[in-house]
Amino acid sequence: MTKTQTQKLPDTATVLQDTFISIVADASGSMDHLHATVIKGLNDFIAEQAKSPAVSKVSIVQFPASDDDAGIRSILKLTDVKKARPITPEDYIINGMTPLYDAIGLVIDKADTRIAKRVAAGKTPES
């Protein structure tokens, strides 16, 4: 007969894991009245994430990049949340129409490419 040992775990357990945060910010003309609110929200979110003992990196892109561009413009690129500079009105620029799905697709493509390069280099995708 085999005896199994069990160990009681704490009621709440925290697992720290490196986190990569990608934020896609709508900077189309319809966001003009929320300009200051969005900037405050982004800065508050980053400050809250910086309190975590886990390693977290943040990327923030805005769309559209300009009035005549359906692309995205990077505000922060894989920046350690503990070292991230505050977002300013000069960073988050309101303009253009609303190509949301294009922007989300571009962010996913960039993340997929970054992961593929890491795997091809023999590294783990998440580190």
**What integer pLDDT is reported at residue 54 of this predicted model?**
86
CATH number at residue 26: 3.40.50.410
More confidently predicted of 125 and 85:
85
Instruction: Please state, for a pLDDT cut of 70, what percent of the chain lies above it.
Output: 79
Total domain count for the chain?
1
Residue 34 lies in a domain: yes
Cis peptide bond N-terminal to 10, omega within 30: no
> Is 8 within the bounds of a domain?
no
Mean pLDDT of the chain: 84
Q: Does 70 reside within a domain? A: yes
* Domain encompassing residue 67: 20-117
Angle, alpha carbons 48-51-54 (nearest 5°): 115
Answering whether pTM is above 0.75, one says no
Instruction: Average the pLDDT over each of 12-21, 28-37, 88-97, 118-127 and give the range with the smallest value.
Output: 12-21
- Residue 112: both structure tokens together: 């997929």
Mean pLDDT across the stretch 50-58? 90
Retrieve residue 62's tokens.
């805005």
* Residue 65 placed within a domain: yes
Q: Is residue 4 part of a domain?
A: no
Question: Is 9 contained in some domain?
Answer: no
Angle, CA 76 vertex, CA 73 and CA 82 arms, to 5° = 170
